[in-house]
Structure formats: structure tokens, C-alpha cells
Amino acid sequence: MPTDAAAKGVKLERYASGSALLLRRVASGKFVAASSHLLFRATVLATLALVFLFAFHYPSLLSRSFSLVSADASSSSGASRHTSHRSLLMSSASAASVYGGEKWEKEIRRSAKPRRDGGISVLVTGAAGFVGSHCSLALRARGDGVLGLDNFNTYYDPVLKRGRQRLLSDRGVVVLDADINDALLLEKLFEAVPFTHVLHLAAQAGVRYAMEAPQTYVASNVAGLVTVFETAAKHADPQPAIVWASSSSVYGLNTEAPFSEEHRTDRPASLYAATKKAGEAIAHSYNHIYGLSITGLRFFTVYGPWGRPDMAYFSFARSIVAGDPITLYADARRDFTYIDDVVKGCVGALDTAGRSTGSARTGKKTGPAPLRVYNLGNTSPVPVTRMVAILEKLLGKKANKRVVTMPSNGDVPFTHANVSHAAHDFGYRPTTSLDVGLRHFVDWFVEYYKLDTKIVKATRAADKKPATKKKAPAMSASS
């Protein structure tokens, strides 16, 4: 047996003789061949490094499920809600491994079970969101079964989402903490509960945020939508009918008004709009191939109590109260639609949705399933400046306004819905004026943020007096 030292000596000798050999090659004009060998090795190493880096940054392409990852569940500030591209697409364990067992199945079946004859059983995605929570409450109130799902992301204050979850829980509706990209969990849900309908509202909303975090829109509004359709098509038996939220933003740069479902929708002004438009095309393919009954609802600027803090009416109310300046786009008009009207539209769409007809599992196909799309708007656009004037009156305080020309940041100059199809097919008739709807919103806002109601009431009663002389109601620490 050679000793270690002897072995090292042999290695050194080989190394020395190898170097000498190389020198001889250089000397003999073979340098080119040797360096191309080295170059080849370096290229292989660099390629491996690149593959590693790519897999590290885009694990979603390699893994089956991925989900949004909260940046900071305790804050709603712009900085904290801005989760990085990599963290948004980071693979995570399926909630299916967390949720399960006899007790859990019993609980979700109880939540999803209708309590009236002929009641429907609905899986509501985005149930802790603004529209999702209101729809879930309305369905529950009339005796339908509801199971909610939401990933409670930090795009805006998750405390508000938890508050909505508590409201639902008080009425016996379970909202699971889960992502719509979690195919394993969705499969488990469809296998455990015979849902008649899915009300799919989970999405990355907001037009301007798409410039900050484009991948979140792709993850939730495109990949997530596919996961919902895919599992409903292949793992639910019978397949449920699906009603999902598209958006008025699909009309983009359309100038014909009012917007009708027949108008062109191929000029989106934002990535958000483009993902909703993509969703409508994806819906067409799942309806065509798998016979899924799918109804897309194009909502127009929905507002009301428990609303979204990122939307203008809500953020303006906060700024007015706090005395902060607000920026308005000159000439912008919106077809503001009150939440109760939208809820009636969603329920009407669920009640009239035809059955899904094709099942990938059984191979049965009994004819074409419905594929529908409807506008749900208010049919009367209002200048954003008027919306601010109503808020000023209700809050008893003048806004510190800065009016600027609308930049090309995804917003469109106006929206205006024609709702004749929804009116014809399920009696949709919006009845709430902006004055009345904003009053309901401000009543909730004042209570939720524990503003000094005496001051707000006094300013309402005397709204002729200059509001600037009155003391501004303070935001509570919970805001």
C-alpha cells in the first residue's frame, strides 16, 4: 500500500508531467486545440450555472403548484405589499397537507350544505375579498351552502380581509386560507363536496399595481383561473357551473358608449385588463373542450361598505379625513356600481347558469354548455370630481385636490355600461345612486375606523358652513 505522502508525490509528478506536456504542445503549435478544450468546459459550466439560476428564479415552471407569499401580513403599506417576483412565484406546500381529516371534511361539508329546498352549494374563491364576502353573505342569508377560499395576500390590509372572514364565520361560512393555484387542495375540495356552482372572484385586482408587480396578475388571473377551470373540469363529478369576475377594463380604449358586450375588447389599456381578456379566451376553451358552463361578469367600479382601500373612493375618503392631498384625473368619469346591485347580479347569474355538460372523467357529452358574458354596471357614469364632492359633503371636510391630466398608467377616461343583456336574462336592474351608496359607505367607514361620529354628524347637519373651520375627525390606531 503506498503511503499518503507517496501518493501525493505521484500526483505532483503527474501534474508536473502534465504541465510539461502542455508546454510541449504549446511549443509544438497545439495551443489552439488545448484552449478550445478549456473553452468547451467553461461553456458547459456556464450553461449549468445559468440553468440553476433560471430554476431558482422560476420554480413555477418546474413545480406543480405555486402561490402568492405574503410580504408582511401586518401591514398594508405600498412597500410591504410589494412582494418580489421571485417570492410571488415561490413554490409552497399545498394546503391539502394542512387541511384534512374527518373533522375538517365534516366542517367544510356543513359550510357548503344548502339549508333550504332547492338551495345551491357554492365554492366562493376570493371570499375574504370585497365582492366575495358580500356575495357569500347574501347566498348564506337565503339558505345556500357556501364554502370560501382566499389566500389573504397583502395587496391591501389583510386585517380588513380577516374582519370579513369573521363576519362570514359568525354566519357559519368557512373561509379556507388557500391559493387558487393549489390544485391538490382544489381536487380534495371537489372530491369531498358536490358543489353545484363555483363563484370565482379571487384575482389580483387594481390597474396601476400591475406596473409594480406584473407577475402577480399572471399568477392569479391567468394561471389561477386555469387551475380553477382545470380542476372543475377534471376532478368534480358532476362538474359545477362557474360564474367568474371579468372586468369592464376589457373595453380598454373602446370609445363607443355605453359599452355593450358586442363591442371590441382587443385594446386593453393595462396588464390587469389584458389578464381579464385572456381569462375570457381561456373560458371559451374550457367551455368548448370540457363542456363547462361558464359565465363571465364584467363589473364596473364596484363600491360600498367593507370596500377595497386601494380604490379611489376609499383612499380619497381616508385622505380627506387625514388632510392629505388627493390627485384627480381631469375629465375622468366612472360608472360607479353599488355593491348590493352587483351582488344581485352575481346571484342572478348563478341562478340562471345552465349545467355543465361534459365530463372528462365519464366522457359523457350531452350538448353544448352555456358560455355567457354580462356587463354589471350602473348605466350612469359620474365625473370623479362629483364623487369627491359627495365624499366632502358626507365627511364634512374639504379635500385638498390636485387635478392633473390622466397619464398612460392603465386607467381609461370613462366607463359606461349597457346592461340590457343582464336585465333580460336575470332581471338585473341597478337601483342605487352614487349619493345613497356613498352614504352607506361613509357610515360604515366612520364606524369601522372609529372616527369621531359626533363631529361627522355635526358637519353633515351644517354642510353649508365652511368645512375647513371644523376639526378633522381622527383616524383610530386600527386604521
Report the residue from 60, 76, 111, 153 that binds ligand NAD according to the rule CB under 6 A: 153
130 binds ligand NAD (CB under 6 A): yes
160 or 456: whose CB is closer to ligand NAD? 160
Binding mask 68-97 for ligand NAD (x = CB under 6 A): x-----------------------------
From 40-48, 94-102, 147-155, 345-353, span contacting ligand NAD (CB under 6 A): 147-155
308 or 397: whose CB is closer to ligand NAD? 308
- C-alpha separations of 183 from 94, 260, 410 in Å: 8, 35, 31
Q: How many residues bind ligand NAD (CB under 6 A)?
A: 28
Report the residue from 65, 108, 126, 459 that binds ligand NAD according to the rule CB under 6 A: 126
Min dist. Cβ of residue 132 to ligand NAD (A): 6
Nearest residue to ligand NAD on Cβ basis: 129
Ranges within 267-326 binding ligand NAD (CB under 6 A): 299, 301-302, 308
374 and 345 Cβ atoms separated by less than 8 Å: yes
259 or 397: whose CB is closer to ligand NAD? 259
Binding mask 164-203 for ligand NAD (x = CB under 6 A): ---------------xxx-------------------xxx
125 or 196: whose CB is closer to ligand NAD? 125
129 binds ligand NAD (CB under 6 A): yes
Min dist. Cβ of residue 159 to ligand NAD (A): 12
Active-site residue, selected from the candidate residues 155, 272, 286, 374: 272
204 or 418: whose CB is closer to ligand NAD? 204
130 or 426: whose CB is closer to ligand NAD? 130
Min dist. Cβ of residue 348 to ligand NAD (A): 16
Nearest to 25 by CA among 44, 38, 43: 38
379 and 300 Cβ atoms separated by less than 8 Å: no
Is residue 272 part of the annotated active site? The answer reads: yes
- Please enumerate in sequence order all residues whose Cβ is within 8 A of that of 262, keeping only pairs 6 or more positions apart, or say none: none
Nearest to 178 by CA among 247, 224, 213: 224
302 or 390: whose CB is closer to ligand NAD? 302
Nearest to 446 by CA among 321, 301, 316: 321
Min dist. Cβ of residue 81 to ligand NAD (A): 11
Cα–Cα distance for residue pair 268/411, rounded to 1 Å: 10
306 or 426: whose CB is closer to ligand NAD? 306
215 binds ligand NAD (CB under 6 A): no
331 φψ region: left (φ > 0), alpha (ψ -120 to 50), beta (else): left
- C-alpha separations of 167 from 172, 293, 339, 446, 447 in Å: 9, 30, 16, 18, 15
Report the residue from 151, 270, 357, 378 that binds ligand NAD according to the rule CB under 6 A: 151
Min dist. Cβ of residue 113 to ligand NAD (A): 23
245 binds ligand NAD (CB under 6 A): yes
Label the pairing between strands 302-303 and 174-177: unpaired
From 16-24, 146-154, 252-260, 285-293, span contacting ligand NAD (CB under 6 A): 146-154
Q: Which residues bind ligand NAD (CB under 6 A)?
A: 68, 126, 128-132, 150-153, 161, 179-181, 201-205, 220, 224, 245, 247, 299, 301-302, 308
Catalytic site residues?
272
